[in-house]
Amino acid sequence: MYYQPEIETMPVDELRALQLTRMRESMRNAYENVPLFRERFDAAGVSPDDLESLEDLARFPFVVKQDMRDAYPFGMFARENKDVARIHASSGTTGQATVVGHTASDLANWGDCFARGIAMVGGSEDSTIQVSYGYGLFTGGLGAHAGGEAMGCTVIPTSSGNTKRQVQMMKDCKTDILACTPSYALLIADTAIEMGYDPATEFPISAVICGAEPASQNMKDEIAEKLGVQYCDVYGLSEIMGPGVAMECKERGGIHVAEDQFYCEIVDPETLEVLPDGEWGELVITTLVRECCPLIRYRTRDVTRIISEPCACGRTHRKIDYLRGRTDDMLIIRGVNVFPSQIEQVITEFPEIATQYQIILSNKGPLDRVELQVETVPEFPIDEVRKIEDLKSRLGAELKSNLQVAVEIKIVEPKTIERSMGKAKRVIDLREAKN
């Protein structure tokens, strides 16, 4: 039931005292070793010595993703290269990577966080976990892999793709836990059914651990029904660590934060005032044990609330509710972060295309379908099929190269894209409503 019972069921008073001690250490690490924090703290007239209670955190300045982009590549590192065991990176609005470093201790803590989720779905050292997240700079694959190894599971690092082979591996290797994005879990289930299997009765799989993209409750229920499993929602972001910041227990109703490693606040995105538990707002996270890249009051842009009521599972760590959306314009498409401004930057490199465009998101089976409509300039020969197809091909290839997501291109005539108050409506999301 528990991976680290002494931590996961720690009395709340002891947990808060531990958070305060670790927060002081993390803040000191950030102040002494990362110039950005020293400059921000000094400008705000605060220092680590001013943190006398958890509530005092509200006196300290925020950091945002742009700060990390501006510090590229190593400006946010609090450790020298000899102490950095691994580097991960995520995309930015201009294609500039956000680079995040991990010490050996950071990686061990990450594995422990994800392993807690494995325990929440009944996993143990006897389990076989199939990791079908992508491996590489994306944190999903290696994060889940580390969790499996920390638990002592047999780990099958299938990564994503080659779905029929994934199904065969699940059946033949007796996979009992699958870790992947929700859309890919559903695709695996549907593929297994198409291959003539009934995974809910013929496969030993008992749980899926899904994250990296939004999923409606209907989608989660469909995955659980088709595979005959317990569904576990995992929350994470590469800037903070990766998957495992919060995990869902069998009681559902929210996702347990690893509060011994992270301190969460909810702020009003307009006033930036801290909101009480239970109120919806923007999630702000402070890392408590991170050595290489400590973050103090990082604005995630994710909209949720803190659930402080005791959970029937016995864990004392508070939950965050399922995400309602974001406070910025970032889209999550098949687990990849995409900003409309990234698409706009690519479009501007094509003289045949006007600056007006529209992104239409819809569901195509279990996967997100992305259609990009672009207007041509008036002088472009819109009626010449060969030139249209050539333009679509070149634009599609460039978008794929920049965004790592396949985008369907539709070329339209000038001034045909819907406008509101003189401006194009950039994103139309027709996907099933998300929680």
Mean pLDDT of 294-305: 96
pLDDT of residue 427: 82
Could you write out the DSSP letters of every residue in 239-290? TTTEEEEEE--TT-SSEEE-TTTEEEEEE-TTT-PBPPTT--EEEEEEESS-
**pLDDT surpasses 60 at 95:** no
- pLDDT at 315 > cutoff 90: yes
- End-to-end Cα spacing for the chain: 27
Name the more confident of 52 and 337.
Answer: 52
Query: Please, are residues 414 and 376 in contact by the beta-carbon 8 Å criterion?
Result: yes
Angle at 72 between CA 71 and CA 74, to 5 degrees: 85
More confidently predicted of 303 and 423:
303
Q: Is the pLDDT of residue 434 over 70?
A: no
Confidence of residue 186 (pLDDT cuts 50, 70, 90): confident
Which residues does residue 235 pair with via DSSP β-bridges, in sequence order?
246
**Which pLDDT score, from 0 to 100, does residue 421 have?**
34
Q: What does the pLDDT average to over 303-318?
A: 97
Beta bridge partners of residue 419, listed in sequence order: 424
Dump pLDDT digits (tens) for 358-395: 888 887 666 677 889 998 988 999 888 999 999 999 99
Domains in the chain and their CATH numbers?
A: 5-20+55-328 (3.40.50.12780), 336-429 (3.30.300.30)
- Residue 107 reports pLDDT greater than 70: yes
Binned at pLDDT 50, 70 and 90, residue 153 comes out as: very high
**pLDDT for 91:** 58
- From CA 82, how far away is CA 147, in angstroms rounded? 24
